Amino acid sequence: MKILAVSDQIVERLYSTNVRENYPDVRMIIGCGDLPYTYLEFLVTVLNIPMFYVPGNHDPRHDLDNRSRAEGGFNLDMSVAYSQGLLLAGLGGSIVYHPNSPNQYSQEQMYRRAMQLLPTIWWNQLKYGRKLDLLITHSPAYGIHDDDDPAHQGLKALNWLIRMARPRYMLHGHTIFYRQNIQPHFTTYYDTEIINIYPSRILEINP
C-alpha cells in the first residue's frame, strides 16, 4: 500500500490540482507536522483518502475550533488508530525551547505523554498480535536524525516508546537538513525503520 507522507515544507508538486493524476495509487496521507492546515486540507480533499497527522511546534494548540485542526483529517496526537490494516499511533510536538509555547515539551513531559499510549498499544498486541505498525511523530528520537541546537534535540521518550512498541516504522519531521546528501534519512533502531519525511516521501508499506 502506498502512503504519502509530508512534513515541514509545502511541496509545489503536491500542492497542485494534478496531484491525483500524479499519485493515483496513494491510499493514505500522513502529516508529520509544521505544515499549514490548508495544505493538509487540500491534499485530503483532492486525494479523498484517510489522513492522519500530528502537530508540530509551529502548529497551533489543538482545540475544537476550526483553525486548530485540519478538516477531513484525524489528529493522531496521543492517539492510536487502525486504518486499512495498519496500526498507527501519534505523538506531536518537539522539545521545549520557548517555554509555554504550544506543542513543546520537556523530556519528562514527553515521557508522560508517551506512557499514556501504552495501554492501547498493549491492547493491540492482544487483539491484533502486534503492538504497532507506524509511529507518527513530529520530533526525531534522541540521537537519531536530531541536531544539537536547543530546538532540534530529539526526544528520549520516543526511543523508549520504540523499544516498548516495536513499530515497523517511525515517521518524523522537524529536522531539516539542507545537506541532504550527508545526513541520513533512514536509520534502523531495534526493529524499527526510522524515516525523516521532510519534505515528502512516498512509502510502500504492506498492511
Residue 156 Cβ, how far from Zn ion at the closest point, in Å?
17
Cβ neighbour number for residue 179 with a 10 Å cutoff:
6
Size of the site for Zn ion (CB under 5 A): 4
CB 110 within 8 A of CB 160: no
Q: Cβ 2 to Zn ion, closest distance in Å?
A: 25
Helix axes 118-128, 156-165, angle to 10 degrees: 20
Q: Which of 69, 131, 174, 201 binds Zn ion (CB under 5 A)?
A: 174
Indicate which single residue of 31, 55, 56, 92 sits in contact with Zn ion (rule: CB under 5 A): 56
Least distance CB 58 / Zn ion (angstroms): 6
Sheet holding 200-204, edge to edge: 74-75, 51-53, 26-31, 2-6, 200-204
- Kindly state the smallest distance separating residue 31's Cβ from Zn ion, in Å: 12
Nearer to Zn ion, 121 or 170 (CB): 170
Query: Which residue number is nearest to Zn ion in terms of Cβ?
Result: 174
Stretch that binds Zn ion, among 37-45, 55-63, 158-166, 178-186 (CB under 5 A): 55-63
Query: Based on CB atoms, which residue is closest to Zn ion, 50 or 173?
Result: 173
State which of residues 4, 30, 34, 197 lies at the interface with Zn ion (CB under 5 A): 34
Query: 104: which 3 cell numbers?
Result: 513543546
Query: What residue type is assigned to position 187 of the chain?
Result: T
Applying CB under 5 A, which part among 33-41, 43-51, 111-119, 199-207 lies near Zn ion?
33-41
CA 156-160-163 angle, to 5 degrees, is 145
Torsion, Cα 174 187 80 130, to 10 degrees, reads 180
Does residue number 57 form part of the binding site for Zn ion (CB under 5 A)? yes
DSSP E strands in 43-133: the ranges are: 51-53, 74-75, 79-83, 86-91, 94-95, 104-105
Output 9 or 38, the one with its CB closest to Zn ion: 9
Binding segment for Zn ion among 98-106, 157-165, 167-175, 186-194 (CB under 5 A)? 167-175
Tell me whether residue 35 is exposed, middle or buried, using C-beta atoms within 10 angstroms of its C-beta: 0 to 12, 13 to 18, 19 or more: buried
**Residues interacting with Zn ion, by CB under 5 A?**
34, 56-57, 174
